[in-house]
Amino acid sequence: MRLTTFSDYSLRVLMYLGIHEERLATIGEVAKAYGISENHLVKVVHHLAQRGYVETTRGKGGGMRLARTPEDINVGEVVRGTEDNLALAECFDPKPGDCRIAPACLLKGVLTSAVDAFFATLDRHTLADLLVPRPKLARLLLPVAPHSRRSVTLTRARH
């Protein structure tokens, strides 16, 4: 099972905002910190705001922040809201498929148990749990210019 980029970015945005709870953050700032596209983040932030995880302020001096405390943001709930298709195999599709062994197959039950276990684990965690190494995360998520990142990599490679 693999989460979509949308889910990944949603969790990353929430983590960034959780680390920087004391102030507003911008989409551009988050994009630079993670080295990802601002265009993708616009959609992600819009979704998170619609779901009540993020509040946004428009205009000069605007930005975004968490709308709930990190303890009130459940990881499983976030992922369920960002994944549009959790069908691991054809047999999960509500439309009849072409699987010849469907009437006798036990695979669907096994996969259902696996997905249930996956979400049971996510449901036991909140955003606050993901923020435990806050000082280290804050250092790692400082916005860095792309050239700086390359020069650090090259410098390390030479030694």
What does the pLDDT read at residue 156? 38
Could you give phi then psi for residue 79, rounded to 5 degrees?
Answer: -65, -40
Distance CA 125, CA 109 (A): 25
What does the pLDDT read at residue 143? 56
For the cut 90, the answer to whether the pLDDT of residue 43 exceeds it is: yes
What mean pLDDT comes out for the span 89-105? 78
Report residue 55 as tokens.
Answer: 């509040």
What does pLDDT average to over the chain? 86
Provide the H-helix boundaries in the chain. Answer: 5-19, 27-34, 38-50, 75-82, 107-123, 127-130, 134-140, 146-158
Reported as a single tens digit per residue, the pLDDT across 139-156 is 898 755 444 443 333 333
Q: Pick from 75, 12, 79: which is nearest to 40 by CA?
A: 12
Reported as a single tens digit per residue, the pLDDT across 99-126 is 888 889 899 899 999 999 999 999 999 9
Distance CA 22, CA 20 (A): 6
What does the pLDDT read at residue 151? 34
Single pTM value for the model: 0.82
For the cut 90, the answer to whether the pLDDT of residue 67 exceeds it is: yes
Question: What contacts 53, CB < 8 A, 6 or more positions away?
Answer: 14, 66, 67, 68, 73, 78
What mean pLDDT comes out for the span 81-95? 80
Task: Count the neighbouring beta carbons within 10 Å of the beta carbon of residue 9.
Answer: 24
What does the pLDDT read at residue 145? 45
Would you say 13 and 78 are in contact if contact means Cβ atoms under 8 Å apart?
no
For the cut 50, the answer to whether the pLDDT of residue 18 exceeds it is: yes
Task: Write down the architecture of domain 5-146 according to CATH.
Answer: Orthogonal Bundle (1.10)
For the cut 80, the answer to whether the pLDDT of residue 1 exceeds it is: no
